[in-house]
Amino acid sequence: MTQKQTILGRISQLARANVNALLDRAEDPEKMLDQLIRDYTNSIAEAEEAVAQTIANVRMAEADLQTDRDGAYKVDNLARVALSRQIQHESEISRAEPTITQQNDTVEQLKAGLTTMKT
């Protein structure tokens, strides 16, 4: 029986040796290093692309902010102009109302005088 185990052990050892030899041939260090370099190069390219995209997003956000600031400035100026015009018109109204009232009184007096003249 020791012979049988020895033969089976030898076959097992031979099979393991062949598998290890195949793995050693498949794992060519130069090819593995080349693959690692390719992987790192791809990772660097992806990182550069992500940085570029982030920079572009920041630039777009800054442009949007400036547009919002410009719009707020314009609205603020428009509001100032509108308020000054409103104040001007209200001032003209307050000056015109007494004049119109006085002219209406004068018209009524003239009508009354005309009526008196007719009679």
pLDDT digits (tens, 9 = 90+) for 41-85: 999 999 999 999 999 999 999 999 999 999 999 999 999 999 999
Of 12 and 112, the structure prediction assigns the larger pLDDT to: 112
Q: How far is CA 80 from CA 30, 66, 76, 110, 113, in A?
A: 75, 21, 6, 44, 49
What value does the mean pLDDT take over residues 94-105? 93
Separation CA 28–CA 84 (nearest Å): 84
Task: Give the model confidence (pLDDT) of 22-33 as tens digits.
Answer: 666 666 777 778
At residue 1, the pLDDT reads 47
What is the domain partition of the chain in residue ranges? 29-111
Measured CA to CA in angstroms, residue 52 lies from 33, 42, 44, 65, 77 at distances of: 28, 15, 12, 20, 37
| Residue 65, CB-side half-sphere exposure with 13 Å CA sphere | 6
